[in-house]
């Protein structure tokens, strides 16, 4: 029970990796305010997990979403110890076809909500000596083909995470990035749409398998949410079976 007495906000917490994170955080003893656009999935997970998890249906693209989410977490559980910026929506496209709509989809679902939530949760995180965990991607680090807008948003998230680590470290707030590789519906779709890229991505994984959300990815995120990682900030951690080695 590494997260007893901790309160977490998890974005995109009703689907994919986020669903596994919400479940794992509750199992680790946390109380979780999880948000998503997917109302049905969110409500069913809320019923499954009971009073330790509260679902808020909201579109993170709305500028007022961040303050609404912070206020809902404080109203439900009284404090914010952990902010997990996991949500993302993006559409692959060759760089020559990246247009405003393509950029807006990913920046409005990932980068901007990440920045805004970090800003509005800053004071509560300072009180709690809290931890921010942002999600980026090996696709950004490697510059994968067809991932121009996604790579831009994800690398921007890594940039502000390092700035937060430097600016807010003296106040006791940590900020780290996780780059996962896990089997989700989106990854299944990508594997079918881009079979050669998917085969290559798996071929460079020394552990020779794609990660499982609950047993491979969630334990790493729980670690960064917990006091066990209290001397780690400003880092990007690959939870990808070793496909990319950060230097």
Ligand X SMILES: NC(=O)c1ccc[n+]([C@@H]2O[C@H](COP(=O)([O-])OP(=O)(O)OC[C@H]3O[C@@H](n4cnc5c(N)ncnc54)[C@H](O)[C@@H]3O)[C@@H](O)[C@H]2O)c1
Task: By CB under 6 A, name the one of 7, 10, 17, 80 that touches ligand X.
Answer: 17
89 lies in the site for ligand X, by CB under 6 A: yes
109 lies in the site for ligand X, by CB under 6 A: yes
Task: By CB under 6 A, name the one of 23, 149, 184, 236 that touches ligand X.
Answer: 184
Spatial neighbors of 62 by CB under 8 A, at least 6 apart, are: none
38 lies in the site for ligand X, by CB under 6 A: yes
| Residue among 74, 37, 77 nearest 56 (CA) | 37
23 lies in the site for ligand X, by CB under 6 A: no
Are 172 and 117 spatial neighbours (Cβ–Cβ below 8 Å)?
A: no
224 lies in the site for ligand X, by CB under 6 A: no
Cα-flanking dihedrals φ and ψ of residue 7, to 5°?
-115, 130
**Which segment (66-74, 87-95, 114-122, 222-230) binds ligand X by CB under 6 A?**
87-95
Strand-strand pairing, 236-239 and 174-180: parallel
Task: State the catalytic residues.
Answer: 150
Closer to ligand X by CB, 23 or 128: give it.
23
30 lies in the site for ligand X, by CB under 6 A: no
Task: By CB under 6 A, name the one of 16, 92, 130, 243 that touches ligand X.
Answer: 16
- Whole-angstrom CA distances from 209 to 143, 149, 197, 199 are 22, 27, 15, 11
18 lies in the site for ligand X, by CB under 6 A: yes
Chain centroid to Cα 5, Å, comes to 21
Closer to ligand X by CB, 29 or 186: give it.
186
106 lies in the site for ligand X, by CB under 6 A: no
67 lies in the site for ligand X, by CB under 6 A: no
- The minimum distance between CB 129 and ligand X, in angstroms, equals 25
| Residue among 149, 81, 143 nearest 111 (CA) | 149
| Size of interface with ligand X, in residues (CB under 6 A) | 29
Are 82 and 9 spatial neighbours (Cβ–Cβ below 8 Å)?
A: yes
88 lies in the site for ligand X, by CB under 6 A: yes
Distance between CA atoms of residues 246 and 238, nearest Å:
8
Cα angle 227-163-174, degrees, rounded to a multiple of 5: 5
Interface contacts to ligand X, rule CB under 6 A? 12, 14-18, 36-38, 59-61, 86-89, 109-110, 135, 137-138, 179-182, 184-187
């Amino acid at each position: 029970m590494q997260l007893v007495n901790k309160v977490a906000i998890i974005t995109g917490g009703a689907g994919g990796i986020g669903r596994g994170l919400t479940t794992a955080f509750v199992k680790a003893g946390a109380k979780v305010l999880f948000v998503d656009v997917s109302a049905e999935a969110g409500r069913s997970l809320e019923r499954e997990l009971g009073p330790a998890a509260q679902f808020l249906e909201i579109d993170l693209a709305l500028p007022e979403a961040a303050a609404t989410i912070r206020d809902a977490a404080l109203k439900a559980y009284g404090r914010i110890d952990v902010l997990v910026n996991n949500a993302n929506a993006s559409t692959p496209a060759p760089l020559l076809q990246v247009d405003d709509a393509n950029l807006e989809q990913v920046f409005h679902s990932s980068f901007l909500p990440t920045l805004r939530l970090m800003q509005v949760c800053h004071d509560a995180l300072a009180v709690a000596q809290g931890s921010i965990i942002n999600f980026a991607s090996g696709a950004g680090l490697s510059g994968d083909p067809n991932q121009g807008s996604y790579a831009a948003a994800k690398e921007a998230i890594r940039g502000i995470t390092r700035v937060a680590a430097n600016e807010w470290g003296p106040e006791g707030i940590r900020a780290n990035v996780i780059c996962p590789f896990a089997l989700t519906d989106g990854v299944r779709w990508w594997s079918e749409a881009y079979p050669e890229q998917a085969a290559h991505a798996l071929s460079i994984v020394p552990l020779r398998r794609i990660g499982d959300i609950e047993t491979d990815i969630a334990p790493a995120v729980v670690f960064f949410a917990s006091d066990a990682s209290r001397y780690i900030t400003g880092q990007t951690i690959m939870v990808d079976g070793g496909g990319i080695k950060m230097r």
